[in-house]
Chains A and B, each alone.
Chain A
Amino acid sequence: MNNFTSNIGQRDPVAIGFFFLFVCATLVITWFAAKRSKTASDFYAAGRSVTGFQNGLALAGDYMSAASFLGIAGLVALKGYDGLIYSIGFLVGWPLIMFLIAEPLRNLGKYTFADVVAYRLRQKPIRIAASCGSLMTVAFYLIAQIVGSGSLVNLMFGLPYELAVVIVGVVMIAYVLFGGMLATTWVQIIKAALLMAGATAMVVMVLAKFHFDPTALFAAAAVKYGQKVLEPGGLVSNPWDALSLGMALMFGTAGLPHILMRFYTVPDAEQARKSVFYATGFISYFYILTFIIGFGAMVLVGRDVITAFDKGGNMSALLLAEATGGTVFLGFIAAVAFATILAVVAGLTLAGAATFSHDLYVNVFRSGKTTEEQEVRVAKRATVVLGIVAVGLGMAFKGQNVAFMVGLAFAIAASGNFPALLMSILWRGMSTFGATAAIVTGSTLAVGLILISPTVWVDVFHFQQAIFPWKNPALISMPASFLAGWLGSLLAPDVDASARYEEQKIRNYLGVGVE
């Protein structure tokens, strides 16, 4: 194993060629999308022309980040079974989106999830609070993606970190600025298809070496590294900690602005529910593939080689690609991983731009009195500004430990966005003050508690002992948000809002008057 040589980290012309091809193809799509993108509904929601199947693929594309591909495969390669526990947590939020959120969201909203929360309530306070929750979620998710992508590209292609971040920023701005949601959707679809095709090919090549019997692969892993790799290890040791993380992952998925926004791209609630079904299927399939890829890397590449390239194991899927399919396949998978990063950040940027323009500019600063041209113009300006800010933050956080930021984004989504959204759909008595209190309480607690939790207090600030014992605050911050929403609505009820609940119900359940 010591004579294992690899093209990883070289400026491999095959990988760069594949990546160039992907960027060119997606920019051509963006050009076509730009010609069709005129109205606000085109820019934010692809003219509501996306089918349930296409949106399912695009949702999967939004969710399957490079972190979940390279990161989870690496986690499995180094820790074995525990990697699967991690992916299960990310998956089980999807059924909840289906049962609780997807149809009401589609029927009651227009472009952002704040549309639904603000449906019956006074626009300004709700839009401001929801925008804060939304922008925090997007910002933390975006920083984690960009910093991760810079380091990955650096590892994969040997490109300088700063150059990688700038390339990601420029291409992502081009997609969103010119092609809006239509281009972003197709970038997601192509990326999801490539990622699943690449991962499937890798799994077929791995299993071919084990007579297409996964248990033979698991047995080989157990022989090489001990029975422990097939047993649950130390990932779930403190039950409260595990419950809290589980809640953040499960309910956070139902509060991620860039995921929620995708439900406006389909024509009706029926297609919205179909898209969750397809997305759940694709994501499940993909996580099962990464589990096998992780074990494949463990057996066929070996842990010593994997950790020699990257201590966190992030290169294991790429090393396995090279070991099974040679440098051409490595080039393809590396290009797909880079494309994955681009697609995810494009979706996030579009969600951020929609918040700035639709929630803050139109409904707060202009009190709903603008033309569509003005709204789209502001959204496009916000896209450029957000893109530049994201690149700047990517540079600022270079080399920092940003792993906690994804957990933080999920915690804010679960505690700030989700409770207000669910209560405004289900509870007649929800008032403006209550909804604002729910969002503010949930997100403030999520941010505050994570700062003093082991993930930041110990891992980032290097204090000896964390003040708050759990790694994720959702078990406290999410119920607190519901409580604040309930108390706030009792203390300051909204008679008008309650009176409009019947009308909201008819639109919600019968689809009457849906945009």
Chain B
Amino acid sequence: MHPHSIDQLAFKDLVRRKWSVSLSMTVLMLAIYFGFILLLAFNGPVLAQKIGEHMTLAIPVGLGVILSACALTGLYVRWANTSYDKSVKDILSNMNGKG
């Protein structure tokens, strides 16, 4: 496959979109996790406060970090399965049309 037969603009746009989605999700995950760790390290008592008779805030926050990891991977798959894969298909069919 010769690189020149490809719609360069569409391809550049695809790569740019892929990495802006990937990198912003990466940054979000890093922020959530390291935010959690730094909160534990610098201000443990915030998480130790009670939200019920015995329940502490730390438990739902910890579960929230776990669920955010699942949600982010789910969002990425949805984006990739619809938007990304569709653009790839378009670029490939244009390429075959020209070639």
- Chain A residues within 8 Å of B, Cβ to Cβ: 81, 84-85, 87-89, 91-92, 94-96, 98-100, 103, 215, 218-219, 222-223, 227, 230-232, 235-239, 242-243, 246, 250, 270, 273-274, 276-277, 280-281, 284, 287-288, 426, 502-503, 505-506, 509-513
Contact = CB atoms under 8 A, between A and B. Distances in A.
Given A94-B69, A277-B73, A288-B63, A99 B54 contact: no
Contacts of A92: 29, 32-33, 65, 69
5 contacts: A81-B62, A219-B54, A235-B40, A274-B77, A284-B70
B74 to A, nearest CB: 6
Interface of B: 1, 3, 6, 11, 14-15, 18-19, 21-23, 25-26, 29-30, 32-34, 36-38, 40-42, 44, 47-48, 50, 52-56, 58-59, 62-63, 65-67, 69-70, 72-74, 76-77, 80-81, 85, 88, 91-92
Nearest to A282: B70
Contacts of B32: 92
A218 B59 contact: yes
Nearest to B63: A288
Given A236-B41, A511-B88, A88 B1 contact: no
Nearest to A87: B66
A242 B59 contact: no
A219 B50 CA distance: 11
B77 A277 contact: yes
Contacts of A236: 37, 40-41, 44
Contact of B6 (A81, A99, A506): A506
Contact of A503 (B3, B52, B55): B3
B91 A510 contact: yes
Given A232-B44, A503-B3, A273 B76 contact: yes
Given A230-B55, A277-B73, A88 B91 contact: no
A95 B34 contact: no
A85 B61 CA distance: 11
A85 B62 contact: yes
A506 B3 contact: yes
A156 to B, nearest CB: 29
Contact of A94 (B19, B25, B73): B73
Contacts of A103: 80
Kindly list the 3 A-B residue pairs having the minimum CB-CB distance in the complex, ordered from nearest.
A239-B41, A231-B48, A222-B54
Contact of B76 (A84, A88, A99, A232): A99
Contacts of A85: 37, 40, 62
B35 to A, nearest CB: 11
